[in-house]
Structure 1
Amino acid sequence: MTKNSISNLREKMKELDINKSEPYTNKHIKNKLRERYEDNICISECDGYNDLVTMREKTSTILRSYFQRKDGNDDFQKWAIIETAAMLIKSEIKTCTSCVTDTNPSTTELLGDAPYKFLPESLWLFLDLIIVGDKNHTKVSSIGQALIQATRPRMVLVPLQVGLGVQLYHLFRSEFLLSTLATMGFCVSYKEVKRFKKNAASFVSQNFLDDILDKNERLIMFAGDNVDHNLVTLDGHGTFHGMGIIAATTPGVKLNSEVKRCKVTDLDILNKSRIPIVNYRPSSQAHKEILFEDVPKFPGIIVKNIDVLWELSLNLTKPTPNWQKLMHTLHSGSNYPGKSTVTFLPMIDMYSGDRSCILSTFTFTSTFVP
């Protein structure tokens, strides 16, 4: 249990009570602390974790302490100025940076000027004066976020360190590398990266349902194909043959990229990403009548002649247009639906040619049809 957590404070109250009565609840303690200290206290709340409490120092208090010890020789004044500046920056870090929530940093916090704007004003001004170079924003952002993470290790989860940890794990799969960099303060721990990946795997199907299926007037096309991994191994074990499924949505939608940050077990991931297996029984389905709707007719140009037109254009025009250029020319001025969105769905751990696997794929995708 963390020393500066609400639960720890409640246990201390229980120990100091002579009558050994039941102390306040955690919620009531937090309300009392906010009522007493107002803006001077910061409580970090996160689902599944202990609520953490830290105190903030106001700028006026820090400057008053500096002027009280201002007198002295030059070395003493120099150290007093440095210590006061450090306390001012630390106070602004505690005040401006948002605490850890139940959601991991999003990808938008890693792009453009977002990492630079994540820093408090005093911190980026301090680092901008020290670090030299034409393109020092990247260095200022990374070093500044590392300082924020080191200042508040249990209260803040900075975006750049999460992104770096996930990227390194994706490329090298090395626990030693992540643990070494985390010890040096350059990225999040290996445990935090594993938690991120479990949450990402757990919520992919739910995000698909929330972001795509609830939208009207969209065409969803499903595609399934074999997925093979480690086809040839020395002992013949560790191979994977399965069915991979994707969903292409037209026009495209902006997917919810928020990845929750909570405790997820392997069983939770399995239950949320499992596709029900339907056993294929020919005798029970041989005489069933299957009806298909009519294929929609495309207005305007005849689709089957597009290939012939493109083949003729290879000999008549220079430079030769590719297929993409041809489609742009044919549909110029028309109502273009926009770029499609491709979503990866859970895999089926079965041989893709197995009839039960094929039937399970069709049954799973048919559940999304309104």
Structure 2
Amino acid sequence: MNYFKEHESDQMTVNDLCEKMNKLCGESSYSNVYMKKKVLEHFDNNVVITELNGKQNVVTFKTTAHSILHLFYKRSNANDKECEKRAFIKTAGKLILNEIKNMTKLTKEQYPSSADIMSIDSNYEYLPEGLLCFLQQLIDSTNKNRKISSIGQAIIRAAIPRKVIAPLQIGLGVQMHHHFGSKFLIETLNSLGFCSSYHEVQRFEQSAAVSQGIQIESLNEQFVQFIGDNVDHNTGTIDGLNTFHGMGIIAAITPSKEQRHTIPRIHTTGEDIIAVGKIDIKFYKQSTNKMESMFFQKLSSIDDVEDQLEELNFLIKLARPLKPELPGWSGTMQLVQTGNFPGKSSVVFMPMLNLNPNDMSCIFSTLYFIACQSRKMNTTPVLTFDQPLYWKAGIIFFSVLSVLDRLGS
């Protein structure tokens, strides 16, 4: 029991206590059932035994502010100034730790939302009152709310690491992984207490991939345009193997549509991720090429064409050195635009297709996938290809699908 008191900040199970007693007493140690009974008898209402994070019979102290202050006033050496100072500091620490353990908003069932991670006010309010008051006395500088939130959440996670996923810590871990992809960097920051572990970051990304999927949420007068193009990864390996050259697809939604929802913390497998991000391969067998019946008219000789823009070109060359107050490219586009500006677009990433993008089956599979996605949204499928893919897609349009294909760059 003394061992448990000395480690009251830890989460111990009844089985852990039995193993410790077995090391000290050998065969005369208690069984799990009897140990549980003796713990409840010894500590009375000061402990609670429950299930936590999948572990059975976890024993936790129910320390209260009243009992902490009671012990403070019962201390000895009250006339010693150094002892008095240390007693104040220890009592303040115990009160803050008690508040942290009694936080009601702690959960590991789901990850913090992007709004909670990005909001300084939300992260500031995440801290318990005692810890917030303590840090306010220590930190007084510009952007102090951001620093207080960061340090406070690091303290919370250090105090109860198995019970909490701090918003700023998981956010920093995901950001570092996105920008640098370095396990060493994330694990180093995690060992210093500033971000979540690399394993937790991976679990977050896998949970997000499975829970979000590829389905675009219901639209409200938004225009969706899909874009397909080549995508390459690891193009410069030493042996030329393990490279990736496939078809990448994105969806541009105008005006932008924020897709925010809470990500549950779930256990995922590679099969779960494949099932969500899989595009069915549709093999295309060309029977006839209707493009062969097309022919281009003979172009007129360029020498016979009158350049009606010659005077305009001369005017532009003359006016540019004079630096008149003329709109730039963006301003010119605004001048020719009619109607209200719809707002910026948002981009949603679709799965990649592990086939040669120039292969007809790859293009056909892409078109079929986009047609299915558009049908779910009850919209007309619109797809932009560059010129080589645009031409091959046109061959398929004549014979199979009805998709609006646009030539892009």
The 2-side partners of 1:363 and 1:163 are apart by 36
- Residue 64 of structure 2 is aligned to residue 61 of structure 1: no
Of 310, 320, 326, the match for 2:332: 326
For the residues of structure 2 that align with 1:215 and 1:256, how far apart are their CA atoms? Answer: 14
**Corresponding position: 1:357 with 2:352:** no
Question: Are 2:286 and 1:282 equivalent residues in the alignment?
Answer: yes
Q: Is the 8 A contact 2:114 2:260 kept in 1?
A: no
Contact 1:102 1:260 in 2 (8 A): yes
State how far apart, in whole Å, the 1-side matches of 2:276 and 2:165 are: 26
Provide the rounded CA distance (Å) in 1 between the counterparts of 2:165 and 2:240: 42
Report whether the alignment pairs 1:263 with 2:270. no
Counterpart of 1:84, as a letter, is T
Structure 1 residue 113 and structure 2 residue 130: aligned?
Answer: no
Residue of structure 2 equivalent to 1:78: 85
**Contact (CA 8 Å) 1:6, 1:50: kept in 2 or not?**
no
Q: Are 1:367 and 2:372 counterparts?
A: yes
Deviation at 1:255, TM superposition (A): 0.6
Q: CA deviation at 1:178?
A: 2.5
- Please state if 1:345 is matched with 2:350: yes
Q: Is the 8 A contact 2:357 2:363 kept in 1?
A: yes
Structure 1: distance between partners of 2:12 and 2:363: 55
Which deviations, in whole Å up to 9, do the C-alpha atoms of 1:113-172 show, x marking residues without a partner? 332222122212212212343333333222111100001100001111112222222333
1:205-245 deviations in Å (ceiling 9; x for gaps): 2xx42xx3423433211111110122232211121101111
Answer with 1 or 2: which has the greater Rg.
2
Whether 1:99 aligns to 2:106 is yes
Q: Is residue 244 of structure 1 aligned with residue 261 of structure 2?
A: no
Asked if the contact 2:14–2:32 (Cα under 8 Å) also holds between the matched residues in 1, the reply is: no
Alpha-carbon separation, structure 2, partners of 1:117 and 1:237? 51
Alpha-carbon separation, structure 2, partners of 1:7 and 1:249? 55
* Cα gap change, 1:350 to 1:274, in 2 (>3 Å): same
Equivalent residue, structure 1, for 2:401: none
Match of 1:131 in 2: 139
Unaligned runs of 5+ in 1: 18-35, 288-308
Q: Is the 8 A contact 1:313 1:320 kept in 2?
A: no
Aligned to 1:141: 149
Find the counterpart in structure 1 of residue 399 from structure 2: none
Query: 2 CA distance for matches of 1:5 and 1:361?
Result: 54
* 1:83 CA displacement: 1.3
Q: What's the CA shift string for 1:227-284, capped at 9, x where partnerless?
A: 012223221112110111111122322212533321111121111111111111113x
- Aligned AA for 1:60? H
The Cα of 1:99 is off from its aligned counterpart by 2.0
CA, structure 1 residues 170+338, in 2 after alignment: closer, same or farther (shift >3 Å)? closer
Maintained 8 Å contact 1:250/1:341: yes
Counterpart of 1:174 (choices 164, 168, 182) is: 182
- Residues 48-87 of structure 1 show CA distances to partners (whole Å, capped at 9, x for unaligned) of x558774443322222222222744222222221111111
Distance of 1:250 and 1:138 partners within structure 2: 33
Question: TM-score w.r.t. structure 1 length?
Answer: 0.73
2:198 — aligned with what?
A: 190
Give the Å deviation of 1:183.
2.3
Q: TM-score, normalised by structure 2?
A: 0.67
CA distance in 1, matches of 2:48, 2:324: 71
> SS of the counterpart of 1:123?
helix
SS of 1:241's equivalent? strand
Q: Cα offset for 1:331?
A: 5.0
Q: Which residue identity lines up with residue 243 of structure 1 in the other structure?
A: M
Give the paired residue count: 316
Query: Which residue matches 2:223?
Result: 219
Q: Which amino acid aligns with 1:95?
A: N
Structure 1 position 313, deviation (Å)? 9.2
Counterpart AA for 2:348: T
Q: Percent of aligned pairs with the same residue? A: 38
| Cα deviation, residue 41, structure 1 | 6.4
